[in-house]
């Protein structure tokens, strides 16, 4: 008798493990629908450009300018990536695009990005653009992108620190953010950033940017003196 009860209990337990919905007498059991598996988000691969995508630098620069004006994101990035592979010989042609007052502003901004991808050989061109270009938006983009040059340099840090005295707060805030992007190599800017952070007369946005930048420029220091 005990064995029969044990077997019956086991059968009930096994029945409870089935993935069918509970049914009334006389109804056909229905299996519950399986939940769909969560989709895996896969980051797109980094952009690739063929070495023979363009026959020469002038053709690639012209393509970058035209595709930028046409808002062709994939197209101008292809030209930009190819020009970055060419190194120093591409610097002067790209700077010409930025300096040309007839250039579409999108072409100017994308040429600045291409310069930043070339690296240290393009630093003098970007420093000239950020200090003297007549268009504010172009200068701000140069300030932002010069921070991407790796490795950075004392000349870049000095130029950005100089902008902390600019009369336009947008220039100052962009320079502060750029110093934060550079990080510890911009350690010479720490005292100026501390002064901004601890100055109650500065606007909250600029002080907040200085606080964030300081955590990257000198992460081992306490700045509230």
172-185 tens-digit pLDDT: 999 999 999 999 99
Give me the percent of the chain exceeding a pLDDT of 90: 76
Q: Which of 118, 81, 211, 115 is nearest to 128 (CA)?
A: 115
CA distance 194 to 199: 8
Q: How confident is the model at residue 204 (pLDDT cuts 50, 70, 90)?
A: very high
Greater confidence (105 vs 19) lies with 105
Q: What is the mean pLDDT of residues 58-85?
A: 96
Band (24; pLDDT cuts 50, 70, 90):
low
- Give the DSSP letter of residue 20: B
C-alpha span between 5 and 14 (Å, rounded): 14
Between 107 and 219, the higher pLDDT residue? 107
pLDDT at 219 (0 to 100):
84
Q: For domain 50-150, say whether CATH 1.25.10.10 is its number.
A: yes
- pTM (predicted TM-score): 0.76
The average confidence (pLDDT) of the chain is: 85
User: What pLDDT, on a 0 to 100 scale, did the predictor assign at position 221?
Assistant: 64
Q: Note the pLDDT of residue 220.
A: 74
SS3 content of the chain, % helix, strand, coil (to 5): 65, 0, 35
User: Three-class SS of residue 171?
Assistant: helix
Decide if domain 153-225 falls under CATH 1.25.10: yes
- In the chain, CATH 1.25.10.10 covers 50-150
Over residues 74-86, the mean pLDDT reads 95
| pLDDT at residue 41 greater than cutoff 80 | no
């Amino acid at each position: 008798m005990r064995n029969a009860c044990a077997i019956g209990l086991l059968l009930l337990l096994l029945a409870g493990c089935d993935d069918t919905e509970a049914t009334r007498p006389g109804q056909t059991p229905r299996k519950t629908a399986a939940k769909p598996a969560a989709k895996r988000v896969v980051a797109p691969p980094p952009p690739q450009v063929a070495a023979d995508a363009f026959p020469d630098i002038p053709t690639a620069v012209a393509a970058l300018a035209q595709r930028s004006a046409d808002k062709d994101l994939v197209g101008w990035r292809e030209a930009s990536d190819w020009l970055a592979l060419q190194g120093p010989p591409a610097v002067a042609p790209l700077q010409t695009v930025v300096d040309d007052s007839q250039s579409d502003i999108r072409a100017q901004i994308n040429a600045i990005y291409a310069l930043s991808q070339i690296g240290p050989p393009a630093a003098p061109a970007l420093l000239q653009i950020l200090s003297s270009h007549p268009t504010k938006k172009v200068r701000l983009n140069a300030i932002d992108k010069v921070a991407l040059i790796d490795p950075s340099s004392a000349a870049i840090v000095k130029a950005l620190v100089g902008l902390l005295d600019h009369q336009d707060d947008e220039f100052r805030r962009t320079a502060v953010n750029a110093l934060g992007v550079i990080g510890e190599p911009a350690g010479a800017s720490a005292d100026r950033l501390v002064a901004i952070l601890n100055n109650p007369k500065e606007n909250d946005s600029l002080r907040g940017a200085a606080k964030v930048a300081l955590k990257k420029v000198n992460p081992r220091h306490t700045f509230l003196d």
